[in-house]
Amino acid sequence: MFLKLLEKAELARENSYSPYSKFKVGAALLSKNGEIFTGCNIESSSYSLTCCAERVAFFKAISEGNNGFEAIAIVGGFNDTNEPCMPCGSCRQVMAEFCTPDFKIIIKKNDGFDIYTLFELLPNSFSLKNNE
Ligand SMILES: [Zn+2]
């Protein structure tokens, strides 16, 4: 399943709109019911409006009524290279909103892939749930 997710992330990366950074990213998010939602990074000439591939995938899934996720694959790098592309802090926080600590994050590398859990990448995260 992880290989299929990586394949979908690579395909989504082809749609990356990144004329400013030239850093193309694709993501594929697996929901608990087996559906896959993809995303690519989308930049803006007003840089702060840029949205990451991971959040595009999450927002697509959530806007279509999905709210339970198993894993996300992320593929990225400058132009068409493959460099380990870790999710940024904003994306990790969005993952924490919708995923359990054992959610899997699969990162493509030139020679394969690494798998992390959300807890490894964002331990002790902010949550309103902590205040209940
Ligand atoms: Zn991000």
pLDDT, tens digit (0-9, with 9 covering 90-100), for 23-55 = 999 999 999 999 999 999 999 999 899 999 999
Sign of CA dihedral 118, 44, 78, 7: positive
Range of the structural domain that residue 13 is part of: 2-131
Q: How far is the CA of 34 from the centre of ligand 1 (A)?
A: 23
Q: How far is the CA of 102 from the centre of ligand 1 (A)?
A: 19
Calpha distance 132→52 (Å, rounded): 30
Total-model pTM: 0.94
Which CATH number is 42's domain given? 3.40.140.10
Calpha distance 27→107 (Å, rounded): 10
Q: What is the mean pLDDT of each run of 10 residues along the chain (132 residues)?
A: 95 97 97 97 95 98 95 91 91 96 95 95 84 56
Q: Which of 103, 107, 93 is nearest to 26 (CA)?
A: 107
Query: Which among 7, 54, 97, 132 is annotated as catalytic?
Result: 54
97 is catalytic: no
Structural domain total, the chain? 1
